[in-house]
C-alpha cells in the first residue's frame, strides 16, 4: 500500500478540490494522503469532513510554506498540524498578504510587456486565499499568449523572466517554530530541487535547518533518481531525521504528475506514514 503526503488542492494552486483529492486517492488505493496547500489551511475542513466517507484512508492535515535562506527559496511541509491554531493562521495570513503584494507587482510588469491581465482575473481564477503564478499562467494560456503552463513559466513567470517578482518570505526559524506550536512536524520538501543535486550544498542547508529544529526531509519525490532517494534516506538515518514523501500533485497545473505515483516511478511505502504518525505523537507527548 502506497501513500502521498504532498498534495495541493483548489485552496491554493491545484485544480482538484479537497473532496476530489480523496476520491482520487481512493481510486488509486492509497493508504494515507496529506493536504499541503501553499500558505493556507482553507481546504482542510472540507478534506477532514470528506474523509469520513473513506475510512480506509488516513488523512493528514498539512501546509506548505516557502522560506528565505540566503539566495535560496526553500520549502517546508508541516504535517499533522492543528489547522485551527490561531498562531498558525495569523502567520499564514501575513504570508498571503506578502503574496498579494507580489501579485500586484506581477500584474504591473505583465501589463508593461503588453499582456492583458488584471488582478481581479487572477483572484477569480484562484477562487481561494492563495493566488499564485499557476493562476497567472492559466489566464495567459486562456487568452492565447501561451499554449501550456510550462511555456508560460519558461517565457514569462519564472525567475529572470518579464513577469517574475520576488516576494517577502518568512525565515526558517520562525516558520518551524509556528508549525511546532501548531502541533505539527516540519519536513524539508524536495531538498534536491534547490541545490541541483549538489550534495555539499544540500548538507550545508540541512545542517542549518537541523539547527533551527526541522524534523525530517522529503526523501521520496517524483524527480528524484533511485540514487538520490537512497542518499536522502541514508542522511536522514545518519542525522536522526524523520522521512516523508509525496508527488507534489497539482492536478492539471502540473502535467505528468499523478497522485501517488508522480511521473510513474514514485512509490512511498505505507510504513513512512506509520513512522511519521508515531514520531508526531511522540513530539506531542513530550511537549
Q: Where are the alpha helices (DSSP H) in 153-198?
A: 172-181, 192-195
Residue 197 pLDDT: 59
Helices 199-211 and 226-238: angle between axes, nearest 10 degrees: 40
Residue 52 pLDDT: 97
Given a cut of 90, whether residue 39 has pLDDT beyond it is: yes
* Mean predicted confidence (pLDDT) in 79-90: 98
Tell me how far apart the alpha carbons of residues 181 and 287 are, in angstroms, rounded to a whole number. Answer: 9
Residue 287 pLDDT: 65
Domain positions in the chain: 2-92+168-286, 100-157
In angstroms, what CA-CA distances link 215 with 69, 240, 266? 17, 9, 22
The three-state secondary structure class of 68 is strand
pLDDT: which is higher, 279 or 99: 279
Q: What is the pLDDT of residues 56-73, one digit of tens each?
A: 999 999 999 999 888 778
pLDDT: which is higher, 165 or 242: 242
Residue 265 pLDDT: 93
Given a cut of 90, whether residue 262 has pLDDT beyond it is: yes
Tell me how far apart the alpha carbons of residues 265 and 107 are, in angstroms, rounded to a whole number. Answer: 38
Side-chain-side CA neighbours of residue 197 (13 Å): 9
pLDDT: which is higher, 254 or 216: 216
Share of the chain above pLDDT 70, in %: 98
Residue 149 pLDDT: 85
Given a cut of 80, whether residue 196 has pLDDT beyond it is: no
* Mean predicted confidence (pLDDT) in 96-103: 87
Please give the grid coordinates belonging to residue 167: 516576494
Q: For residue 164, name the pLDDT band (cuts at 50, 70, 90).
A: confident
Tell me how far apart the alpha carbons of residues 100 and 120 are, in angstroms, rounded to a whole number. Answer: 12
Backbone angles phi, psi at 170, to 5 degrees: -70, 160
Number of H helices, E strands in the chain: 11, 8
Q: 171-175, 178-182, 193-197 — which is least confidently predicted?
A: 193-197
Q: What is the pLDDT of residues 3-25, one digit of tens each?
A: 999 999 999 989 999 999 999 99
Residue 159 pLDDT: 84
pLDDT: which is higher, 130 or 168: 168
In angstroms, what CA-CA distances link 21 with 25, 47, 146, 153? 6, 8, 28, 25
Average pLDDT, the chain: 93
Is the CATH number 1.20.1280 carried by domain 100-157? Answer: no
Q: For residue 249, name the pLDDT band (cuts at 50, 70, 90).
A: very high
Residue 260 pLDDT: 97
CATH for 2-92+168-286, options being 3.20.20.140, 3.40.50.2300, 3.40.1190.20, 2.40.110.10: 3.20.20.140
Amino acid at each position: 500500500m502506497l501513500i502521498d503526503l504532498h498534495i495541493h488542492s483548489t485552496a491554493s494552486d491545484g485544480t482538484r478540490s479537497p473532496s476530489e483529492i480523496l476520491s482520487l486517492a481512493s481510486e488509486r488505493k492509497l493508504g494515507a494522503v496529506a493536504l499541503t496547500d501553499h500558505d493556507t489551511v482553507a481546504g482542510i475542513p472540507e478534506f477532514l469532513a470528506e474523509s469520513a466517507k473513506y475510512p480506509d484512508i488516513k488523512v493528514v492535515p498539512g501546509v506548505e510554506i516557502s522560506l528565505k535562506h540566503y539566495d535560496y527559496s526553500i520549502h517546508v511541509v508541516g504535517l499533522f498540524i492543528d489547522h485551527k491554531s490561531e498562531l498558525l493562521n495569523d502567520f499564514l495570513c501575513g504570508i498571503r498578504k506578502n503574496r498579494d503584494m507580489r501579485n500586484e507587482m506581477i500584474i504591473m510588469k505583465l501589463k508593461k510587456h503588453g499582456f492583458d491581465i488584471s488582478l481581479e482575473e487572477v483572484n477569480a481564477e484562484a477562487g481561494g486565499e492563495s493566488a499564485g503564478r499557476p493562476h497567472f499562467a492559466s489566464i495567459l494560456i486562456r487568452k492565447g499568449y501561451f499554449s501550456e503552463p510550462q511555456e508560460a513559466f519558461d517565457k514569462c513567470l519564472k525567475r529572470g523572466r518579464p513577469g517574475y517578482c520576488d516576494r517577502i518570505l518568512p525565515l526558517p526559524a520562525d516558520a518551524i517554530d509556528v508549525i511546532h506550536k501548531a502541533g505539527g512536524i516540519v519536513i524539508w520538501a524536495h531538498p534536491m530541487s534547490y541545490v541541483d543535486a549538489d550534495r555539499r550544498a544540500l548538507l550545508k542547508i540541512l545542517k542549518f535547518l537541523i539547527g533551527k529544529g526541522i524534523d525530517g526531509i522529503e526523501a521520496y519525490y517524483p524527480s528524484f533518481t533511485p540514487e538520490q532517494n537512497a542518499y536522502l534516506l541514508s542522511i536522514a538515518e545518519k542525522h536522526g531525521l524523520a522521512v516523508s514523501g509525496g508527488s507534489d500533485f497539482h492536478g492539471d497545473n502540473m502535467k505528468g504528475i499523478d497522485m501517488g505515483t508522480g511521473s510513474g516511478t514514485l512509490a512511498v511505502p505505507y510504513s513512512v506514514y506509520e513512522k511519521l504518525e508515531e514520531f508526531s505523537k511522540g513530539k506531542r507527548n513530550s511537549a
